Structure 1
Amino acid sequence: MKVHRYEDASQFYERVKDYLLSQEALHFLLLGISNVLIYNPKRYGEKLYLTTVETDGNIVAVAMRTPPHRLLLSKIQDFAAVEAIAQDLHLIQSLPGVTAPMNEAKAFAEVWKALTGQSYQLIKRLRTFKLEKLQPIYSAQGNLRIATEADKELLLRWYETFSLETVGGIESYPKRWIEHTLQQSTAYIWQDKIPVSIACRGGLTPNGASINMVYTPPEYRKKGYASACVAALSQTLLDKGYKYCFLFTDLANPTSNHIYQAIGYQPVNDWYDYSFIENDSIDVSA
């Protein structure tokens, strides 16, 4: 079993694409980030960790990290690869946590604890969903439009409140996200005389597109705006020629899970999001 690190994102993608595409919906996040690294290499900065673990020339695991974010793991064929990745990473980086399919995340957290003495805390239970065909739903009043420069202040305000609600903090450089989003025309607003909801087109895979940052301010909720916004954006992406739309949901939010399934999204797999913590006495692993 060998660990291979890659400096060049294009070489990394060429090596891992068949492995990841064998379960495209499961791996849409890793595929999407790979796409960004190739076409917008400055987006994630330096000190990237792009790695395969191979046995007899066959990939059994893929790992990726874009600091300061958590480690991302693929579906793993041989769980001995978990220790191989942990040992390799421990030589060069500290880690804030891991995000991976449920069994892989739990296995890595256990190995990392044994290796470093750090405890781990389950932050989120996530679920991946895939859409191939939209289901008809009641649509709220309004229409979908692409966000423009005139929406800058609105995007900043909504991004900050979305971040506070979902992760409990605000990214260090939200204005960088806004500039990128406006430049790429990936933010879509549901407008009912005034802006009331937002959804963004996220990373791309060879056959699909993901949706993220679905947010409706509290005063506009329970009016069907989020459902209408996600449904309209999903159909827009399908109309552009993508075969699938993908997204993550937080299983602690039953409302969003219901909304997406009503639109036609089908569950694919569960993921766990763990944070690593220094004090072993407060181990709240799950």
Structure 2
Amino acid sequence: MSWTTTHDLDTFTDAAGLFLRAEPAPHTILLTATTALGAAGLDRFGDGAPEFGWWRAPGGQVAGAYLHTPPHPVLLGRMPATAAAELAELRAAGGSPTPGVNAGRAAAEAFAGAWTARTGTAGTVEERHRLYRLGELVPPDPAPPGHARPGTGDDGDLLVEWTRQFSAEAGTGAGDPARAVADRLAYGGATLWEDGGRPVSYAGITRTVAGMARVAPVYTPPPLRRRGYGAAVTAAVSSAARAAGVRDVLLFTDLANPTSNALYQRLGYEPVEDHLVISFGD
């Protein structure tokens, strides 16, 4: 049982790609993030060089993988608790910068426990997320006024501002908002809901990988909320993904927000698993 690390995306993909694609839902962030790195550049999520790794079980098969794009938390895929704990110990022993961990609950807790045991630094749960998969889509009825349309380059400035506002509210970041929006528009991954000739809500979607795509982000400016726009644009982008042949249409919710969790379930999204983001203090 051992970890192998690299800064080379192709090496990582060759070693761990089949493992990740065999279960695209629990590996959604790893798959979409590495695909974005390959398409938009290795600095897509920050200036630091990404680090990749994979873990082999006693039989030699890959049974775990991770990605670290500084300054973000270390992102773990599905893996045995022993692999997560071993990775934490290796990073602590090597002095690798590790601001936190983002993973399914079991792997996150195993990593954090080993990190605390090795370094004496306790972890703090910053975010609790739930991963959902679309079952049978149930569009909102009645739908709000307006219609969905694809985002275009003319929407760039607005989407950059909305991306900044979304990140500020959610306490998350995915690198430079302008670059994130430009990347999303480049592959047609932005949908707007328009009412009365003006955009009122926005839903993004990742590139499709292994028959899977993830809806993110979904944003409606505060003055325009509680009118059904967010549900409508989510249903629109979900329907378009299904029509394009996407098998697993996914999204994450913040468990601290019961409104969004109830909303997406009404649209036909079903729980898959819970994730934690745990930070480590200085």
TM-score, normalising length: structure 1: 0.89
Distance across 1 between alignment mates of 2:174 and 2:15:
31
Q: Deviations over 1:177-231 (max 9, x none)?
A: 2322333332211101221111101243211111101011111111111110000
Distance across 2 between alignment mates of 1:132 and 1:38:
30
1:141-180 to 2 correspondences below 5 Å: 141-167=145-171, 173-180=176-183
Q: Deviations over 1:102-156 (max 9, x none)?
A: 1111111111122223221111110111114312431211111122232233222
Contact 1:35/1:204 (8 A) holds in 2: no
How many Å apart are 1:171 and its aligned residue? 6.3
Q: Mean alpha-carbon deviation: is it higher for 91-100 or for 207-216?
A: 91-100
Q: Mean alpha-carbon deviation: is it higher for 119-128 or for 90-99?
A: 90-99
How many Å apart are 1:101 and its aligned residue? 0.5
Distance across 2 between alignment mates of 1:178 and 1:21:
26
Aligned twin of 2:3: 3
How many Å apart are 1:41 and its aligned residue? 3.1
How many Å apart are 1:85 and its aligned residue? 1.0
Letter in 2 for 1:137: P
Match of 1:261 among 260, 265, 273: 265
Aligned twin of 1:28: 28
Distance across 1 between alignment mates of 2:87 and 2:111:
9
Cα pair distance change 1:21/1:142, threshold 3 Å: same
Letter in 2 for 1:238: R
Q: Mean alpha-carbon deviation: is it higher for 149-158 or for 138-147?
A: 149-158
Structure 1, gaps ≥5 residues long: 279-286
How many Å apart are 1:13 and its aligned residue? 2.1
SS of the aligned residue for 1:234 comes to helix
Matching of residue 192 in structure 1 with residue 195 in structure 2: yes
Matching of residue 12 in structure 1 with residue 12 in structure 2: yes
Aligned twin of 1:183: 186
Matching of residue 107 in structure 1 with residue 110 in structure 2: yes
Cα pair distance change 1:205/1:92, threshold 3 Å: farther
Aligned twin of 1:51: 53
Distance across 2 between alignment mates of 1:149 and 1:205:
24
Distance across 2 between alignment mates of 1:41 and 1:165:
27
Aligned twin of 2:39: 39
1:242-281 to 2 correspondences below 5 Å: 242-278=246-282
Letter in 1 for 2:107: E
Distance across 1 between alignment mates of 2:173 and 2:77:
27
Distance across 1 between alignment mates of 2:207 and 2:275:
18
Contact 1:33/1:203 (8 A) holds in 2: no
How many Å apart are 1:173 and its aligned residue? 2.5
Q: Deviations over 1:14-49 (max 9, x none)?
A: 322332234321111111112223333332455222
Percent of counterpart pairs with the same letter? 33
Number of matched residues? Answer: 276
Distance across 2 between alignment mates of 1:242 and 1:170:
26
How many Å apart are 1:5 and its aligned residue? 1.4
Cα pair distance change 1:157/1:47, threshold 3 Å: closer
Distance across 1 between alignment mates of 2:227 and 2:241:
24
Aligned twin of 1:88: 90
Match of 2:234 among 230, 244, 248: 230
Distance across 2 between alignment mates of 1:73 and 1:170:
18
Q: Deviations over 1:25-81 (max 9, x none)?
A: 11111111122233333324552221111123122321111112111112223x221
TM-score, normalising length: structure 2: 0.90
SS of the aligned residue for 2:206 comes to strand
Distance across 2 between alignment mates of 1:103 and 1:277:
21
Distance across 2 between alignment mates of 1:242 and 1:31:
14
Structure 2, gaps ≥5 residues long: none
Contact 1:9/1:38 (8 A) holds in 2: yes
